[in-house]
Amino acid sequence: MKALIMAGGQGTRFWPLSRELYPKQLLKLGDSHTLLQQTVMRLSPLIKPEDIHVITSRKLMVDIKSQLGDVDGGGVNIMLEPEPKNTAPAVGLGALYLERSAPGSVMAVLPSDHLIKQKKKFHATLKKAESLAGEGYLVVFGVKPTKPETGYGYIKTGKGIGDGSFRVERFVEKPDAKTAAEYLESGEYLWNSGMFVWKSSVILDEMKAHMPALYKGLKKIEAALGTENEEAVAAGEFAKLKAVSIDYGVMEKSKNVAVVEAEFDWSDLGSWSAIEEIIEPDGEGNVTVGKVVSLSCRDTTFYAEDRLVAGIGLEGMVVVDTPDATLICKKDMAQNVKDVVAAIKHKGYDEYISHKTVQRPWGSYTVLQSGPSYKIKRIEVKPGAKLSLQVHQHRSEHWVVVSGTARATKGDTVETIHINESTYIPMSTLHRLENPGKVPLQIIEVQNGEYLEEDDIQRFDDVYGRQ
């Protein structure tokens, strides 16, 4: 079996912890691994790393690669989605590649940001689905409802076709509270988990029947595969496609759909109120992460990244404090966080884009402060890692080493800078920072100049293939 992990999500619902350039699948949320890493690790040993394909956008590529490198030894494949067009085009592209490399194989389509703890039961369900997919079904994982949830789509089960497996009678949209209660009561409905299993050949045939425009686009991309135009053709075809979900585009229309009841625990972590499924609340129903002082609070989640957070008399709230943004939200309005993100964007603020600490393949940097003509960064470089050989036209840089040892290339010279030593990089000087040591290197960089944005960089050599 192959796996296609969908990792292009925007992740606005966990703002301010998630950002446009650091969506939910990249977050740890109380675990030692990120949701993406957990998704990959959860497949082992049933699906081998080389049979796993993660599809994502260009802007997330570096972070995804870095996270996968930390868990799989580099065996997992990464596919590029030219632009976000909801799930159907991404699934189509994934199926196209898989069908070409291993015709007729069964593929599981999995979100990268869900929570599943029971790995063995997950494998059992996957195997059951694999067998049905082999018979030609489009298989969806259904989850037995435990409450009248209005945030999910539902699946009405039809004729049983095996242990915990049914033909799908129909898919239904997110219901209102009354309808959700009826669905729960009837026992005939399952939640649509957004996880699917099918033969790549079968899903492509179904797209041909129900999404002819997408299929036509995929065929054009297929024709260009392996040529120098491959990327341009994919981009061009994706630009023309409508953004359509695989549920709406195929599943709701196909006559060939089965549902397998998930035997494992599952949460789609759809909003901050789901954090309780990861971190156990205390006796008062409070979840506390970080430096928190609370008085007379109940049923409240405090997620404090670095500052002290104090709460008095809070009930049913979520408080999330990050270095550049703080969210305070009524739990039952947690689904509105995406509207706040839209409002922030609309106001011209940039706290929806990235964090103050930005991950890079060589380590990370944090903007400590910016002024009209200066910027202070703390830069951490992993042992053995090096930044690109680069030039800035509008800024000079002072580097002070505060831990570890740095090697600095400046024009034709190379110098070693130890803790408590500094160096100066004048404007327009070719330079490179690297960590030749065995412990992390930390430097404080003071930038001076009239223009201090990240795009004032000309790269001449980069070990991570960036341009």
By CB under 8 A, name the binding residues for a second copy: 16, 291, 293, 295-296, 304, 307-314, 317, 319, 321, 323-330, 332-334, 336-337, 339-340, 343-344, 347, 349, 351, 366, 368-369, 371-374, 376, 378, 396, 398, 400, 402-403, 419-420, 422, 424, 442, 444, 446, 448
Length of the chain: 467
Nearer to a second copy, 259 or 334 (CB): 334
Nearer to a second copy, 158 or 449 (CB): 449
Shortest Cβ distance from residue 113 to a second copy (Å)? 21
**Closest C-alpha to 84, from 57, 66, 55:** 57
Nearer to a second copy, 43 or 334 (CB): 334
Shortest Cβ distance from residue 373 to a second copy (Å)? 7
Rounded Cα distance, 196 and 61, in Å: 24
Nearer to a second copy, 215 or 303 (CB): 303
Half-sphere exposure (Cβ direction) of 213: Cα atoms closer than 13 Å: 11
Q: At what angle do helices 87-101 and 200-210 cross, to 10 degrees?
A: 130
DSSP H or E run through 445: strand 441-449
Strands (E) located in 64-150: 77-80, 106-111, 138-143
Q: 3-class DSSP state for residue 6?
A: strand
Nearer to a second copy, 214 or 289 (CB): 289
In degrees, rounded to 5, the angle at the alpha carbon of residue 116 between the alpha carbons of residues 323 and 288 is 35
Give bridge partners of residue 257 from the DSSP assignment.
Answer: 138
Rounded Cα distance, 110 and 124, in Å: 15
Shortest Cβ distance from residue 423 to a second copy (Å)? 10
Shortest Cβ distance from residue 248 to a second copy (Å)? 28
Which residue blocks in 18-106 are alpha helix, DSSP H? Answer: 35-41, 61-72, 87-101
Nearer to a second copy, 209 or 343 (CB): 343
Shortest Cβ distance from residue 448 to a second copy (Å)? 4
Shortest Cβ distance from residue 365 to a second copy (Å)? 12
Nearer to a second copy, 45 or 371 (CB): 371
Nearer to a second copy, 186 or 370 (CB): 370
Q: 3-class DSSP state for residue 120?
A: helix
Nearer to a second copy, 96 or 309 (CB): 309
Shortest Cβ distance from residue 354 to a second copy (Å)? 13
DSSP H or E run through 231: helix 230-240
Rounded Cα distance, 8 and 56, in Å: 4
The one-letter amino acid code at 368 reads: L
- Phi and psi at 314, nearest 5°, equal -85, 140
Nearer to a second copy, 99 or 351 (CB): 351
Q: 3-class DSSP state for residue 95?
A: helix
Q: How far does the chain reach from its first CA to its final CA, in angstroms?
A: 35
Shortest Cβ distance from residue 385 to a second copy (Å)? 19
Shortest Cβ distance from residue 453 to a second copy (Å)? 17
Nearer to a second copy, 155 or 327 (CB): 327
| Residue 249 DSSP code | I
Shortest Cβ distance from residue 405 to a second copy (Å)? 14
Nearer to a second copy, 358 or 400 (CB): 400
- Phi and psi at 343, nearest 5°, equal -65, -40
In degrees, rounded to 5, the angle at the alpha carbon of residue 151 between the alpha carbons of residues 149 and 155 is 75
Q: What is the dihedral sign for C-alpha 342, 344, 348, 349?
A: negative
Q: Do strands 395-403 and 441-449 pair parallel, antiparallel, or not at all (unpaired)?
A: antiparallel
Shortest Cβ distance from residue 446 to a second copy (Å)? 4
CB 224 within 8 A of CB 168: no
In degrees, rounded to 5, the angle at the alpha carbon of residue 345 between the alpha carbons of residues 342 and 346 is 85
Shortest Cβ distance from residue 66 to a second copy (Å)? 23
